[in-house]
Amino acid sequence: MSSETEELESLANQEYKYGFVTDIEADALPPGLDEGTVRAISAIKKEPAFMTEWRLKSYKKWLKMEEPKWPKVEYPEIDFQDMVYYSAPKTTPKYESLDEVDPELLKTYKKLGIPLEEQKILAGVAVDAVFDSVSVATTFKEKLSELGIIFCPISEALQNHPDLVKKYLGSVVPATDNFYAALNSAVFSDGSFVYVPKGVRCPMELSTYFRINAQNTGQFERTLIVADEGSYVSYLEGCTAPQRDENQLHAAVVELIALKDAEIKYSTVQNWYPGDENGKGGIYNFVTKRGICHENAKISWTQVETGSAITWKYPSVILKGDNSIGEFYSVAMTNNYQQADTGTKMIHIGKNTKSNIVSKGISAGKSNNSYRGLVKVMKSAENARNFSQCDSLLIGDKCGAHTFPYIEVNNTSGKVEHEATTSKIGEDQIFYCNQRGLDTEQAVSLIVNGYCKEVFRELPMEFAIEAQNLLSISLEGSVG
Amino acid sequence: MLEVKDLKASIAGKEILRGINLSIKPGEVHAIMGPNGSGKSTLANVLSGREEYEVTAGSVSYFGDDLLEFAPEERAQKGIFLAFQYPVEIPGVSNVYFLRTALNEIRKANGEEEIDAAAFLKMIRKKMELVEMEKALLNRSVNEGFSGGEKKRNEIFQMAVLEPKLAILDETDSGLDIDALRVVADGVNTLKSKENATIVVTHYQRLLDYIIPDFVHVLYKGQIVKSGGKELAFELEEKGYDWLK
């Protein structure tokens, strides 16, 4: 165990090896949204005609839709005409050296164990010539292209692989799916595209983490991952470092397609600005994530959510093919005035389909944390199996934890199990740790990390330790 | 090393300790005996700094310092170890990870370097033999799903690793069968040295067949009503507590 931990730590402390940059240059559009805005975004990106049409169709559908009101979150009304829907990525660094950066921010980076060069990138400091990320990116891309793997911004994919994008975009999350998905489909700025060819096992974790311009892909990110028959890919999204953004609303869409015998592992660490301790500011994160499994395919979602003022997110799996497997592992931590309404949907269509849900909610401060999940077994899904475990941990007595499990079973051979627990960190647990020499903050962090272990062990190694550190930092000040 | 003077403490407004006097020197083993509700566990908890207990009067000096000024973790770092009557479960945290974190915190607080993984593993292997602990328990979550005997053994194992200056065993014998009792006692006896001291809190004389005390104190209604040598324990076994009331 301890040697394993050592290994994890050393891995987590390595510098990140991958990254890529893109060249998009255009001016910002004026605030507001109409057909012209949608056409303009498409034109700036020199998109093929089908894409412009698709965006416009989505826009028209969006106009007829209403914001969902069912999540257990509260926020002031959003003025969609007051937002800027396209602005060019900033290419000039904000600072000349780390000395100019907010020392508090640097302290957090240090606690997370983020390498110095990377800290500079995250904080927007000019990067030394020694650290040539372009050349790193090039070797990385070469290695992937040898295997026929495509990993590029979706805007680039629309230029170079329009047929692939056309075939799969919107196939799992149709533009009409929900209000925010429709909005995203109309105005998405950029995002990632991955295609792994038949029988290929992607040899490295694909990561958006280190993309220098990732911060600037904007508030409407679009990700499309296609794993062809018998292939495997693991994809990491997000960053443990605190992400600040001037855009308050983020409405991303992620679609995963796992063809026959393929496997996709999608891991997220989300740490966007949650607002201050009084609940001011902070990002609204309204995300639609869904995957589809064909025969014998498998999709695993793992997420560690500690940021954002409001999180509204349900990574889901449609188990279409026989014998396919869907998994959802989640840690959602809320503190101060944060609100999270998150969970998953597992739709069993094929025979012998299996799904596994492990959700760990942690609420502290005055926050509200809800698990909302749907397990649906269709008539066709003979012998479907689901196991759900939803645990809530409360820290203090001003926070809330809620569980909304929805179960629909239309086939009598199905077996659906749901377990839910709510617990508090006990005084006796804390005193036990105190008595062994740990202070209370360490004790809480240790107890919480233990509670989340089932989810953390699903994370790729380089993410796991950082995620633990992140949780400890998010917990700071929540006890005492 | 420990001077307790006229110590009074209460919980939720109810006075439990009503003037305790106790003096402990390095190398000594003290047994605190007494009927249920006499304040034995309260004394153990007050010495280790449990917050629910309020000290209302008196003083505790530990190596010349005012012990009551220190937070529970500081007391632990200064070498006070409480073997819990009811060891607490921490799900998802492996025993070995917990112990290494504890040891390193104590080392750091004493200006020592953190122990590396290899040295730590080597060290705990030895200590495990001492308390005949199964290796499998190391990687299991702290006390989770442990039997009563395994939990108590785990407490003594932690004690062996952390090498406290003052160990307080709170009813460590309760719920143990005779074999487990022997193992726990062997562990305590092996760890005994000229530099450290032990307080054995117990209801029964049974444990004292294995851990021979230098002093026996009888606690009754929050006060030490009688102190003596190890023969006092036998007398209590024979006559019960009634004759002291």
Complete DSSP assignment for B62-85 = ETTEEGGGS-HHHHHHTTEEEE-S
Query: B33 lies in which domain range?
Result: 2-244
Paired tokens of A85: 């829907």
Low-confidence ranges of chain B (pLDDT < 70): 245
AA identity, residue A254: V
- The C-alpha atoms of residue A342 and residue B97 are separated, in whole angstroms, by 31
For the domain that residue B123 is a member of, what is the CATH number? 3.40.50.300
User: pLDDT value at position B148?
Assistant: 87
Q: Do A436 and B162 lie within an 8 Å CB cutoff? A: yes
For A429, the closest chain B residue by CA position comes to: B88
Helices B148-162 and B95-109 pack at an angle, to 10 degrees, of 30
- The C-alpha atoms of residue A33 and residue A17 are separated, in whole angstroms, by 39
Give the three-class secondary structure for A132: coil
Domain ranges of chain A: 2-89+148-478
ipTM: 0.95
Q: Which of B52, B91, B162 sits opposite A451 (nearest CB)?
A: B91
Q: What is the Cβ-side half-sphere exposure of residue B160, based on CA atoms within 13 angstroms?
A: 27
CB A337 within 8 A of CB A372: no
Chain A nearest CA to B117, separation (Å): 6
A140 φ/ψ angles, rounded to the nearest 5 degrees? -60, -45
User: pLDDT value at position A124?
Assistant: 57
pTM of the model: 0.81
- If one counts the domains in chain B, the total is 1
Chain A nearest CA to B138, separation (Å): 9
A369 φ/ψ angles, rounded to the nearest 5 degrees? -130, 120
CB A13 within 8 A of CB A113: yes
The answer to whether B119 contacts chain A (CB < 8 Å) is no
AA identity, residue A445: S
> Which of A431, A451, A465 should we substitute to test contact with B (largest number of B Cβ atoms within 10 Å)?
A431
Give the three-class secondary structure for A158: helix
Q: Which of A6, A440, A450 sits opposite B93 (nearest CB)?
A: A450
> pLDDT digit string (tens) for B104-159?
999 999 999 999 888 998 999 988 888 888 888 888 999 999 988 889 989 999 99
- The C-alpha atoms of residue A3 and residue A7 are separated, in whole angstroms, by 6
- The C-alpha atoms of residue B89 and residue B109 are separated, in whole angstroms, by 25
Chain A nearest CA to B1, separation (Å): 19
Nearest partner of B173 among B213, B135, B114, B115, judged by Cα: B213
Nearest partner of A198 among A170, A161, A226, judged by Cα: A226
User: pLDDT value at position A79?
Assistant: 83
Q: Do B73 and A431 lie within an 8 Å CB cutoff? A: no
Burial of B43 (0-12, 13-18, 19+ CB in 10 A): buried
- The C-alpha atoms of residue B31 and residue B214 are separated, in whole angstroms, by 8
Which residues are CB-contacts of B168 (< 8 A; sequence separation ≥ 6)? B44, B47, B48, B80, B81, B82, B83, B198, B199, B201
Paired tokens of B243: 């004759």
Give the three-class secondary structure for B89: coil
| Helix, strand, coil content of chain A in percent (nearest 5) | 30, 30, 40
Nearest partner of A390 among A345, A432, A348, A420, judged by Cα: A420
Interface size, chain A vs chain B, as Cβ–Cβ contacts under 8 Å: 93
Q: What angle do CA A256, A258, A263 make, to 5 degrees?
A: 105
- pLDDT per residue, tens digit, chain A (480 aa), is 344 444 444 443 333 222 222 333 346 778 888 999 999 999 988 999 999 999 999 999 999 998 888 877 787 788 888 887 877 655 555 666 777 767 766 776 676 666 666 666 666 555 443 333 444 555 677 788 899 999 888 888 999 999 999 999 999 999 989 999 999 999 998 888 999 999 999 988 887 644 433 344 457 889 999 999 999 999 988 766 655 555 678 889 999 999 999 999 999 888 777 777 776 777 888 899 999 999 999 999 999 988 778 888 999 999 999 999 999 999 998 888 888 888 999 999 999 999 999 999 998 888 889 899 999 999 999 999 999 999 999 888 888 888 899 999 999 999 999 998 888 888 899 999 999 999 998 898 899 989 998 898 888 876 787 788 777 777 776 654
CB B190 within 8 A of CB B210: no
- The C-alpha atoms of residue B164 and residue B79 are separated, in whole angstroms, by 4
Q: What is the Cβ-side half-sphere exposure of residue A128, based on CA atoms within 13 angstroms?
A: 7
- The C-alpha atoms of residue A245 and residue A251 are separated, in whole angstroms, by 13
Q: Which of B73, B81, B103 sits opposite A434 (nearest CB)?
A: B73
Contact list, B103 vs chain A (CB under 8 Å): 437
Strand order in the sheet with B14-24: B14-24, B2-11, B53-62, B65-66
Q: Which of B73, B139, B141 sits opposite A437 (nearest CB)?
A: B73
- Counting runs of H as helices and runs of E as strands, what totals does chain A give? 13, 19
Q: Do A437 and B162 lie within an 8 Å CB cutoff? A: yes
Nearest partner of B218 among B241, B237, B234, B239, judged by Cα: B241
Chain A nearest CA to B105, separation (Å): 6
User: pLDDT value at position A22?
Assistant: 32
Give the three-class secondary structure for A187: helix
Give the three-class secondary structure for A335: coil
Which residues are CB-contacts of A388 (< 8 A; sequence separation ≥ 6)? A356, A357, A358, A359, A373, A375, A405, A416, A417, A418, A419
Q: Which residue has the tokens 């740790």?
A: A433
Nearest partner of B92 among B145, B142, B154, B146, judged by Cα: B142
Q: How far is CA A332 from CA A71, A263, A339, in A?
A: 15, 24, 10
- The C-alpha atoms of residue B188 and residue B184 are separated, in whole angstroms, by 6
Q: Do B90 and A426 lie within an 8 Å CB cutoff? A: no
Q: Do A436 and B158 lie within an 8 Å CB cutoff? A: yes
Q: Do B91 and A450 lie within an 8 Å CB cutoff? A: yes
- The C-alpha atoms of residue A340 and residue A449 are separated, in whole angstroms, by 19
Q: Do A428 and B88 lie within an 8 Å CB cutoff? A: yes
Q: Do A437 and B102 lie within an 8 Å CB cutoff? A: yes
Q: Which residue has the tokens 């008539």?
A: A379
Contact list, B97 vs chain A (CB under 8 Å): 1-2, 5
Contact list, A1 vs chain B (CB under 8 Å): 94, 96-97, 138-139
Contact list, A439 vs chain B (CB under 8 Å): 71, 73, 105
